[in-house]
Amino acid sequence: MTTDQAGVPEARPGPAFPAHEARVDALRQQLTAIGGDTTIRLAKRTSNLFRSRAAAKHPGLDVSGFTHVLRVDPENRTADVEGMVTYEQLVDATLPHGLMPLVVPQLKTITLGGAVTGLGIESSSFRNGMPHESVLELEVLTGDGEIVVATPDNEHRDLFHGFPNSYGTLGYALRLRILLEPVKPFVKLRHVRHHDRGKYFAALGEICATSEHEGEHVDFVDGTVFGPDELYLTLGTFTDTAPATSDYTWLDIYYRSIQRRETDHLTVRDYLWRWDTDWFWCSRAFGVQHRLPRLLLGRRFLRSSVYWKAVALDRRFRIAERLLKLRRLPPEETIVQDIEVPLDRAAEFLEFFEREIPISPVWICPLRQRPGGVRWPLYELDPQQLYVNFGFWSAVPLDPGERDGVHNRMVEAEVTRLGGHKSLYSDSFYTEDEFWRLYNGDAYRKLKRAYDPRERLLGLYEKCVRRR
């Protein structure tokens, strides 16, 4: 795999995939049958978005067949995959070759196309950025009904760089070629406790700058904050051997081990999916962190895709809301967000959060854009800056007279004040002017005119804020 002078991997022509091309042709026929003026949406049975949407009035495009890992190339460390391939499928295809994607988002059913158009992050992001930064080539069905292949330097490079954070409003990824990296069989974990948020983030910055802690190399960095004086950095290191490995795929719960163990070992696969079994810690809302339910459910039902179905059922029938009313408890506001702020403002954000938003634990993940000077206009990061992602997913009670969304708006305002960004996979409450100022409305409108001039796809604000 060669690189250009800026350090960006060169996209070379790859092999043909006849079965994939047949699926693309069938999709074209679907699009023709839908008609030229009808709004296009995907017909999907699963989603990892956490915002409700208005019901579609017309049949969606059926992309359920685009679930194939087309090729893993161990020599060049690349993979060609279809847009609906899940990271679980992809990891199962690459690990036998001793390879993994550069960034593997935490949940098994996140798709490659979804992670690239909607962003993603994990504990390798301090060195590898976000999933879209390892993409070499994108095949996209645009809103204008064209199939285009976009690379960093061809005639569709504007779409290639503008696709991340467009959330399917410019087009849908049908095929992607991505970079892979080598792995070892095991990951050694060190859970390092801190009692002071300032020292905690200072240590985080030093470890990310050197990829080292106390003389030992570090390949993965994330953290968990349980309270103002209980902050952990979890440092992962690839290793060829392990004295023993832990199993957090059934009876034992990974996030609880952080408080109880200073060191741990996992197989590389179990490390990548360490958060999925309990959806970080959100499985506690479903009562399945007790021994008996876990024994009864088994590994098959202890996974994020099952919890997501339960959430969808709750939204449909408003079960939690009705239970609160029956118990005469105040209504709650759902706060499911991932934000990032520059490292030097991270302690300030955490202080605000602990003061104003009664949610615990909080996930911490450092992020730095990969070297090369590439601009991603719809989600621009300072390439010289280390950012800290905060993930928090729960609900808080509303005081009498408080309107739904008040706490989310507080978070949005604070993130903006601190020079940060907020992911759009969940509820957003920005005004339209504010939204376009934060997410580069000028660049987006230019892309929309080029690739969806008839506006057959929803706009980004309509989809992410108005939830149409």
| Phi-psi region at 238: left, alpha or beta (left = phi > 0; alpha = psi -120 to 50) | beta
Predicted confidence at residue 319, as pLDDT, reads 81
Predicted confidence at residue 44, as pLDDT, reads 64
Model confidence band, residue 36 (pLDDT cutoffs 50, 70, 90): low
Lowest mean pLDDT among 91-100, 136-145, 203-212: 136-145
Contacts 24+ apart (CB under 8 A), 45-50: 46/109, 46/305, 46/308, 47/308, 48/107, 48/109, 48/110, 48/114, 48/308, 48/425, 49/118, 49/425, 49/426, 50/311, 50/336, 50/393, 50/425, 50/426, 50/427
Model confidence band, residue 33 (pLDDT cutoffs 50, 70, 90): confident
Please say if the pLDDT value at position 253 is more than 80: yes
The CA-based angle 309-315-319, given to 5 degrees, is 100
Contact 277, 293 (CB under 8 A): no
Mapping DSSP onto H, E and C, the string for 406-421 reads HHHHHHHHHHHHCCCE
Predicted confidence at residue 48, as pLDDT, reads 58
What is the separation of C-alpha 449 from the centre of its chain, rounded to a whole number of angstroms?
A: 27
What sign results for the dihedral spanned by CA atoms 283, 287, 288, 289? Answer: positive
CATH entry, 34-183, from 3.40.440.10, 3.30.465.10, 1.10.4080.10, 1.10.260.40: 3.30.465.10
Predicted confidence at residue 70, as pLDDT, reads 98
Please say if the pLDDT value at position 289 is more than 80: yes
400 preceded by cis ω (within 30°)? no
The CA-based angle 346-347-353, given to 5 degrees, is 90
The CA-based angle 210-200-339, given to 5 degrees, is 90
Predicted confidence at residue 250, as pLDDT, reads 97
Residue that has been written with the tokens 């990951």 in this structure: 187
Mean pLDDT across 192-205: 98
Please say if the pLDDT value at position 71 is more than 70: yes
pTM (two decimals):
0.93
Mean pLDDT across 264-290: 96
Lowest mean pLDDT among 68-77, 206-215, 327-336: 327-336
Predicted confidence at residue 373, as pLDDT, reads 79
pLDDT, tens digit, 9 for 90 and up, residues 229-238 = 999 999 999 9
pLDDT, tens digit, 9 for 90 and up, residues 387-433 = 999 999 999 999 998 999 999 999 999 999 999 999 999 999 999 99
Please say if the pLDDT value at position 304 is more than 50: yes
Predicted confidence at residue 41, as pLDDT, reads 79
pLDDT, tens digit, 9 for 90 and up, residues 147-181 = 999 999 999 999 999 999 999 999 999 999 999 99
Predicted confidence at residue 313, as pLDDT, reads 85
The CA-based angle 279-283-289, given to 5 degrees, is 125
| CA–CA distances in Å: residue 352 to residues 211, 267, 388, 414, 417 | 29, 37, 15, 8, 12
Task: Report the chain's C-alpha Rg in angstroms.
Answer: 22
Q: What is the mean pLDDT of the chain?
A: 92
- Euclidean distance between CA atoms 113 and 132, whole angstroms: 9
Please say if the pLDDT value at position 240 is more than 90: yes
Candidates 340, 337, 356; CA nearest to 427 is 337
Mean pLDDT across 179-184: 98
Percent of the chain at pLDDT above 90?
Answer: 81
Model confidence band, residue 278 (pLDDT cutoffs 50, 70, 90): very high
Please say if the pLDDT value at position 13 is more than 80: no
Please say if the pLDDT value at position 35 is more than 80: no
| CA–CA distances in Å: residue 121 to residues 130, 190, 324, 369, 399 | 5, 20, 34, 11, 33
The domain locations on the chain are 34-183, 186-422
Contact 417, 352 (CB under 8 A): no
Which tokens sit at 300?
């098959």
Which tokens sit at 191?
């859970």
Predicted confidence at residue 47, as pLDDT, reads 62
Mean pLDDT across 125-133: 98
User: Which is more confidently placed, 143 or 40?
Assistant: 143
Contact 140, 113 (CB under 8 A): no
Contact 30, 316 (CB under 8 A): no
Predicted confidence at residue 50, as pLDDT, reads 61
Percent of the chain at pLDDT above 70?
Answer: 93
Please say if the pLDDT value at position 11 is more than 70: no
Model confidence band, residue 53 (pLDDT cutoffs 50, 70, 90): low
Model confidence band, residue 322 (pLDDT cutoffs 50, 70, 90): confident
Mean pLDDT across 64-93: 97
Contact 224, 255 (CB under 8 A): yes
Please say if the pLDDT value at position 7 is more than 60: no
- Euclidean distance between CA atoms 102 and 209, whole angstroms: 18
Mean pLDDT across 20-25: 95
Predicted confidence at residue 61, as pLDDT, reads 87
Please say if the pLDDT value at position 6 is more than 50: no
Tell me if 34-183 shares its fold with 186-422: no
CATH number of 186-422: 3.40.462
Model confidence band, residue 15 (pLDDT cutoffs 50, 70, 90): low
Lowest mean pLDDT among 201-205, 286-290, 372-376: 372-376
The CA-based angle 409-414-416, given to 5 degrees, is 95
pLDDT, tens digit, 9 for 90 and up, residues 434-452 = 999 999 999 999 999 999 9
Highest-pLDDT range among 51-55, 58-62, 131-135: 131-135
User: Which is more confidently placed, 307 or 444?
Assistant: 444
Model confidence band, residue 308 (pLDDT cutoffs 50, 70, 90): confident
